[in-house]
Amino acid sequence: MRSLVAVCLFAAVAALVAVSEPAPLSAQDKKKDDKKKVDPKTFLPTADQLKTIKDKTEELRKAIAALKEKKLKDDVLVEVEIYLKAAENIVRFEEWLAAASVKWALSTVDAGLARAKQAEGGKPVWRDAPGKWVVRAYRSHIDNSIQPYAVLLPHDYGADPKKKWRLDVVLHGRDGSLTESKFIATHAGAAPKDLDYVQLEVYGRGNNAYRWAGESDVLFAFYDFQQQHKTIDMNRVVLRGFSMGGAGAWHIGLKHSDDFCVIGPGAGFTTTHGYIANLPKELPEHQEKCLRIYDALGYAENAFNVPVIAYSGEKDGQKKAADNIENALKSFKEPHTFKHIIAPGLEHAQPKEWQAKLEEEYKKFADKGRTRDPERIRLVAYTEGRYDWLSYAVEKWYERAVVDATRKGRTLTVKTTNARFLSCEVAGFGDITIDIDGQKLALGHENKQYVSLERKDGKWHDVTLQSIETFRTRLAKRGKFDGPIDSAFTWSFRVVGPKGEGWHPATAKHAIAALTGFAALWDRYFRGTLPVRETLKFTGVTYNAVLFGDPKSNPLIAQALPKLPIKWTAEKLEVNGVEYNAKTHLPVLIYPNPLNENRGHIVINSGHTFGEADLKGTNALLYPRLGDWAVIKPTPTAKDPAAYEVVAAGLFDENWQFPKKK
């Protein structure tokens, strides 16, 4: 699972309520979603119940404070603290969204108190629990928040210390009543007697189709578990999910295709167009391009690398997700495995008997596992691609790129389309010959683990010996240094707001409102506290600096401004060669951070570029609205103080420059 771990390191699946139960139904379809909306006040606790919850929560808070005095290891402490977070959130958000909500809150604090007692010895004794669900947690590198996941171990787990186990990463469907308390309470009980694999389910920061921080949550939860348990066979990892979980399995599985021996997406969606009702046939160019980040259809040919066992109900509107991929693969002549299992007469459901039939198909691939170090890799990407011993970044961002590489002995043959940077693992190969796009390069880096190539002026050049610092200081989109604005919140970021009066009342008020709104949305919909700081110190540590205000109100913006591709004074704002009135306009952008030797990004005046209505609606709406940069005009209302009009927006080119005007 090389690329999965790499993502976690550089940035540094999920409640199918039990294995034996049907997958939860999704509310992805907008009409179905509307019908399932519940007034959070419907299931309010009584005054006595609320007092009991609050009293026990305070007791748990004190127990955790006592554990902190004992200086427990953080990975142990967070697995107690997650119960406190769950109890606090359901009360302060008033998320009494189901008839069992009060019961879940009470069971959460009781379980937290029991775990706090267990933790007094300093060891996570609850983890050694074959045959039953165990709630786990990790501290996210993104925002320092604590996020839950759950693990189900087979009854005979640990009986043979040398045994390596298959792992199923399972992604839950959309659940309008999902809270941390519900996630914890519904991951309890025993495993089926015949369970012969480890199952890991993540909370996924709620209902976001495993996009943005939700995608990172899948990666981080797995990484946390894998670091503490060396019993997993990394070549036998299954990714599966239904409905929203199916959507996540489609895009994560096909983009990170070397992480899994088979993927099992059920229903979901694989394209934005055709799924969202009333979406314009053609969005602005920057939005259309950014759809390719998560539209799994564009990655269909990566079925060359990972077998796909898709599931649909015959009468389910979300059957189109698999139909799209199947149709795309009809003209694909390379070897691949794609099987679409259709349940006759069923709508949006995956009953137990069909789960059993799907397991029979997964086993065909999971028993033997994926091939490590394959001779040939063929990989489609739109930003960057990673597969085993090969990684690359595209030349024209968000355009289709294909790298087809074959490694035989000391010869590497590569054909590329739209690739700019390419890295291949060659440890132990000594001198090698690379034939890339008909160009032959003889390389001799015997002590290097990788060889790195860059395409310049139509030719490939060996850049293996160039230092990481050389690449970092260059303005080039690559890896996590790529945008759009929304990508800044998929890995570590810190926020600094305005310190005093800005240049102009209208824009100053907008900056404060935008920051306040972002904090509220992050808290409720991404289940974390916004990491706001008074100031930032840049000591070579990579993180994204998210700054609100203007050069007068935020000293960090003033400090960075001379090295940003805009001009900004109290009177005038110039962006992409166009001048705007600075009294009524603000810039919004993401850019390599000039204050930190281009380690990470700098983001100005923006959180996520989609809003609360999108977060409440279908998950397919969570696509970038502003690309890499924009000029906005605040249009505040009583209901939305951070409202604005988009005056101009777009994407920087591959060198972080404004594209040449056509």
Over residues 136-147, the pLDDT tens digits come to: 999 999 999 999
CA angle 601/606/609 to nearest 5° reads: 105
- pTM for the model stands at 0.93
Q: What is the pLDDT of residue 16?
A: 25
pLDDT tens digits for range 286-343: 999 999 999 999 999 999 999 999 999 999 999 999 999 999 999 999 999 999 999 9
pLDDT at 345 over 90: yes
Is residue 32's pLDDT more than 70? Answer: no
Q: Which residue has the higher pLDDT, 37 or 240?
A: 240
Taking the C-alpha atoms of residue 209 and residue 34, their distance in angstroms, rounded to an integer, is 18
- Reported confidence tier of residue 39, pLDDT bands at 50, 70, 90: low
CB 7 within 8 A of CB 141: no
- 99 CB-near residues (< 8 Å, 6+ apart): 43
The answer to whether 291 and 272 have CB atoms below 8 angstroms apart is yes
- Residue 33 above 50 pLDDT? no
Please give the pLDDT value at position 428.
65
Torsion of CA 604, 605, 606, 607, to 10 degrees: 100
Q: Cis (ω within 30 of 0) for the bond into 531?
A: no
Q: Say which DSSP state 501 is in.
A: -
Residue 504 has pLDDT above 60, yes or no: yes
Alpha carbons 133 and 127: distance in angstroms, whole number? 10
Judged against a pLDDT cut of 70, whether residue 20 lies above it is answered with: no
**CA distance to 385, 563, 564, 618, 629, per residue, from 473 (Å):** 22, 13, 14, 39, 21
Confidence of residue 468 (pLDDT cuts 50, 70, 90): low
pLDDT score for 2: 41
**Domains defined for the chain, CATH in brackets:** 398-472 (no CATH), 485-650 (3.30.379)
Q: pLDDT tens digits for 78-120?
A: 999 999 999 999 999 999 999 999 999 999 999 999 999 999 9
Q: Are 171 and 204 in contact (CB under 8 A)?
A: yes
pLDDT at 34: 33
Q: 3-class SS at 502? A: coil
Give the burial class of 540: count Cβ atoms within 10 A of its Cβ; 0-12 exposed, 13-18 middle, 19 or more buried: exposed
Q: In the predicted model, what is the mean pLDDT of residues 245-255?
A: 98
**What is the reported pLDDT for 38?**
58
Bigger pLDDT: 637 vs 475? 637
Q: How would DSSP label each residue in 462-498? A: E-TTS-HHHHHTS---BTTB---GGGGGGS-EEEE--
Query: For residues 338 and 289, what is the distance between their CA atoms, to the nearest angstrom?
Result: 27
Tens digit of pLDDT for each residue in 410-458?
889 999 999 999 999 887 666 888 999 999 998 876 656 788 999 999 9
Containing H/E element for 168?
strand 165-171
Distance CA 560, CA 552 (A): 12
Residue 661 confidence (pLDDT):
80
C-alpha–C-alpha distance, residues 437 and 415, integer Å: 5
Task: Check pLDDT > 90 for residue 37.
Answer: no
Say what the pLDDT of residue 597 is: 79
pLDDT value, residue 320: 98
464 — pLDDT class (breaks 50, 70, 90): confident
pLDDT (mean) for 500-520? 97
What mean pLDDT do residues 392-396 have? Answer: 95
CB 265 within 8 A of CB 311: yes
CA-wise closest residue to 11 among 470, 546, 541, 629:
541
Q: pLDDT per residue over 196-236, tens digit each? A: 999 999 999 999 999 999 999 999 999 999 988 889 999 99
With 0-12 CB in 10 A as exposed, 13-18 as middle and 19+ as buried, what is 369? Answer: middle
The whole-chain average pLDDT of the chain stands at 91
pLDDT at 426: 81
> Do residues 239 and 251 touch, judged by C-beta distance below 8 A?
no
pLDDT digit string, tens, across residues 470-490:
766 788 888 777 899 999 999
Across residues 260-280, what is the average pLDDT?
Answer: 96
